[in-house]
């Protein structure tokens, strides 16, 4: 059984930002907009949060430093062979009635289909009984983020990123969630011990769409920037996930979730058509087994 390791995730959150920001003053060059290394790195670490930022051309040194995690089609030395740009996709805003966070978190979400991501990099091992629950915290403005799944089958052991990492107590391996500075559907997650950094460098979970009655939701692990179809352009989130590395989670993942434990085919078809309308590729989504799951060991709110 492959396990996710807290050490890697913590190192990613604690040290990657420091490494890049410290090293940036010594890296020369700007992009086509005249922005220096420090500015580019800061925007990268907190996530591209505005249409203008997501349109920036990235210099060669930056793309080389971040390697496969950098959006290749925006690199000034782009060699991905695609002369297309991904459609702009943004989370729901907090304007008007687009998104109500309290309604979103009021009950658990059962995953019906999803892509591989840093938490579940293997379909045959990880796509069982997946459920996500947000719980109010009394001590601060964040939320407890409880994710659950089993390994190998509906009767398998609980996935280790949910029960703790390498024997660490839950207090050190629990996850928290919250909105970033843009509010709305711009959600992020991080280990709770690092929640004060969550707004800036937490792993993005973007709420792209919800049903009018909040019976289903579509979540993306950030901007879909991997070209999967050229004409018409369809993109998705990053698929080159490193096994056993929670630190490689940012920028990965696409989830179709419902309040029902098992969704109807009509509901799934509606959600997938909406993704296509947004310019998001659906061919990398795999079904999650929910039938027969007991969800023993997790907190459900139904």
pLDDT at 114 over 70: yes
pLDDT at 30 over 50: no
Predicted pLDDT of residue 59: 62
Classify 43 in phi/psi space as left (phi over 0), alpha (psi -120 to 50) or beta.
alpha
Helix/strand/coil percent split, the chain, to 5 = 30, 20, 50
Q: Residue 95: which of 7, 184, 165, 209 has the closest Cα?
A: 184
User: DSSP letter at 146?
Assistant: E
pTM score above 0.85:
no
pLDDT at 33 over 50: no
Other Cβ atoms less than 10 A from the Cβ of 15: the count is: 11
Residue 226 pairs in a beta bridge with 236
- In words, the CATH class of domain 101-287 is mainly beta
pLDDT confidence tier of residue 4, bands split at 50, 70 and 90: very low
pLDDT confidence tier of residue 201, bands split at 50, 70 and 90: confident
For the segment 219-243, the average pLDDT, to the nearest whole number, is 90
Predicted pLDDT of residue 184: 94
**What does the mean pLDDT of the chain come to?**
79
Diameter over CA atoms, the chain: 57
Pairing of strands 175-179, 186-191: antiparallel
Q: Hey, where are the domains in the chain? A: 6-74, 101-287
């Amino acid at each position: 059984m492959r396990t996710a390791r807290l050490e890697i995730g913590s190192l990613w959150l604690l040290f990657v930002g420091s490494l890049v920001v410290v090293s940036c003053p010594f890296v020369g060059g700007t992009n086509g907009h005249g922005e220096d290394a420090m500015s580019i790195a800061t925007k990268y670490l907190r996530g591209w949060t505005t249409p203008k930022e997501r349109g920036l051309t990235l210099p060669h040194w930056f793309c080389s430093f971040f390697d496969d995690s950098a959006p290749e089609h925006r690199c000034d030395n782009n060699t991905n062979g695609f002369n297309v740009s991904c459609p702009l996709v943004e989370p729901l805003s907090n304007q008007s009635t687009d998104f109500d966070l309290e309604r979103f978190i009021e009950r658990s979400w059962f995953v019906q289909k999803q892509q591989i991501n840093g938490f579940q990099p293997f379909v045959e091992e990880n796509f069982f009984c997946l459920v996500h629950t947000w719980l109010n915290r009394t001590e601060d403005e964040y939320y407890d983020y409880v994710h659950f799944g089993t390994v190998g089958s509906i009767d398998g052991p609980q996935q280790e990123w949910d029960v703790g990492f390498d024997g660490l107590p839950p207090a050190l391996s629990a996850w928290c969630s919250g909105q970033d500075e843009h509010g709305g559907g711009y959600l992020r997650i991080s280990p709770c011990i690092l929640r004060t950094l969550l707004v800036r460098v937490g792993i993005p979970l973007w709420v792209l769409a919800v049903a009018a009655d909040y019976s289903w939701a579509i979540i993306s692990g950030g901007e879909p920037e991997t070209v999967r179809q050229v004409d018409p352009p369809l993109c998705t989130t990053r698929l080159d996930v490193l096994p056993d590395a929670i630190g490689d989670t940012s920028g990965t993942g696409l989830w179709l979730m419902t309040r029902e434990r098992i969704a109807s085919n009509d509901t799934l078809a509606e959600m997938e058509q909406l993704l296509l309308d947004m310019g998001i590729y659906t061919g990398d989504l795999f079904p999650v087994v929910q039938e027969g799951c007991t969800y023993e060991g997790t907190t459900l709110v139904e």
